[in-house]
Amino acid sequence: MAAHAHAVAPRTRAVESTRSWRTLDRIGLLFCWAAGIALCLITAAIVLYMLVKGVQFLRPHLLVTHPQPDLDQSKTGGFLDPILGTLILTVIGISVALPLGVATAVWLTEYGRPASLARAVESGVEIVAGTPSIVLAIFGLVVFQQHIFSWMSFTAQGNAVFARSFLTAGAMMSLIALPLVVGSTREALQSIPRHVREASYALGKSRFATIRRVLLPAARPGMATGATLGMGRIAGDTAIVVILLGASLQLQAEGSTPLLKTLRGTGSTLTSYVYNNSPAGEGNAPQKAYAAAFVLLLIVVALNFAVDVLVRRRKEPQWIR
């Protein structure tokens, strides 16, 4: 076969030789390669290291037992509460961020008038996206200490509002997820050709019906992608948990109404648990920190994988442009 091909015609080489390149260009190329490979190595190192530590320290009972404060490490229990805390906080955060973010994106793409207001909203979203979460946390603490928000946490003696609870932390967490939801929903809406909207109007449909029945269903994969990315960000954030959730070892319910008492109470998440148990924190149980960090990594990797699946499903047939 090869000999035959050779006999027919000399093939031009598909691969470009860098031999003719200038030295600077070759250095640049080398740098690109090095950067890519280094990134792969770093990722692999993190995952492998956490995998080894996880397998080494993670025991099934850790996932289902409550953490206990004790000087004896064998009696400090597992991290059931932080796992629950992560789940609760993520659910609260995304259930606030998703409707808010989708509404913002719809307004920006479908209305967006006056233009100055649209620009203000856009930069507002960008600023929220760029604000460090610890700043959001401190800000949340100030806001939720106001008396009108006392129902979200609880009032201590002397009428001071505590401001630390799943509700307050979840509200601030939603700001972390919001820009991601806005961004990907907006992108999805913008990718719908104009004539599709006009086709709906031309059938005598109102703008609202068009958004509700045509645009939002078409943008659903984008919304799901944004929500999933946002959930990953919420699950991975520490500052808001430490400041606004109290980072108490166990879920500390507040009041007597079922469910609401948990939401008004404090708790911790895997991130704060890792922080507190790491040599930097006060728990000083690095084995458990590793085990919890491994679980957290699994959760975030699973969420990222879900994004991949969603993006791939977006490759549904599309309109002719």
CB 269 within 8 A of CB 89: yes
Bridge partners, residue 196, by sequence: none
Considering CB under 8 A, how many residues would be counted as binding another protein?
A: 24
Q: Is residue 315 involved in binding another protein (CB under 8 A)? A: no
- CB-wise, 214 or 260, nearer to another protein? 214
Q: Is residue 26 involved in binding another protein (CB under 8 A)? A: no
- CB-wise, 131 or 191, nearer to another protein? 191
Give Cα 51 distance to the centre of its chain. 22
Q: Is residue 202 involved in binding another protein (CB under 8 A)? A: yes
- CB-wise, 10 or 204, nearer to another protein? 204
Q: Return all residues near 303 (Cβ < 8 A) that are at least 6 apart.
A: 228, 229, 231, 232, 235
Burial 288-307 (b: 16+ CB within 10 A, else e): bbbbbbbbbbebbeebeebb
Q: Is residue 319 involved in binding another protein (CB under 8 A)? A: yes
Task: Provide the minimum distance between the beta carbon of 197 and another protein in the complex, in angstroms, as a whole number.
Answer: 8
- CB-wise, 192 or 260, nearer to another protein? 192
Which of 56, 68, 146, 206 contacts another protein by CB under 8 A?
A: 206
Span of 74-82, 169-177, 192-200, 229-237 interacting with another protein by CB under 8 A: 192-200
CB 133 within 8 A of CB 272: no
Instruction: Work out the angle at residue 302's Cα, subtended by the Cα atoms of residues 242 and 288, and round it to the nearest 5 degrees.
Output: 45
Which of 208, 232, 246, 292 contacts another protein by CB under 8 A?
A: 208
Q: Is residue 201 involved in binding another protein (CB under 8 A)? A: yes
Task: Provide the minimum distance between the beta carbon of 276 and another protein in the complex, in angstroms, as a whole number.
Answer: 47
Which of 61, 119, 147, 213 contacts another protein by CB under 8 A?
A: 213
Which of 103, 203, 280, 302 contacts another protein by CB under 8 A?
A: 203
Q: Is residue 209 involved in binding another protein (CB under 8 A)? A: yes
Give Cα 287 distance to the centre of its chain. 26
**What span, in angstroms and rounded, lies between the C-alpha atoms of 132 and 321?**
40
- CB-wise, 112 or 286, nearer to another protein? 112
Instruction: List Cα–Cα distances, 94 to 100, 169, 235, in angstroms.
Output: 10, 12, 11
Q: Is residue 311 involved in binding another protein (CB under 8 A)? A: no
The answer to whether the Cα torsion of 66, 67, 72, 73 is positive or negative is positive
Residues 66/68/73/79 CA torsion (nearest 10 deg): 30
Task: Provide the minimum distance between the beta carbon of 319 and another protein in the complex, in angstroms, as a whole number.
Answer: 6
Instruction: List Cα–Cα distances, 314 to 73, 220, 285, in angstroms.
Output: 48, 9, 44
Q: Is residue 53 involved in binding another protein (CB under 8 A)? A: no
Q: Return all residues near 238 (Cβ < 8 A) that are at least 6 apart.
A: 133, 271, 272, 275
The answer to whether the Cα torsion of 130, 136, 139, 144 is positive or negative is positive
Which of 26, 59, 61, 195 contacts another protein by CB under 8 A?
A: 195
Q: Is residue 158 involved in binding another protein (CB under 8 A)? A: no
Q: Is residue 43 involved in binding another protein (CB under 8 A)? A: no
Which of 4, 13, 315, 321 contacts another protein by CB under 8 A?
A: 321
Question: What residues make contact with another protein under the rule CB under 8 A?
Answer: 193, 195-196, 198-206, 208-209, 213-214, 217-218, 316-321
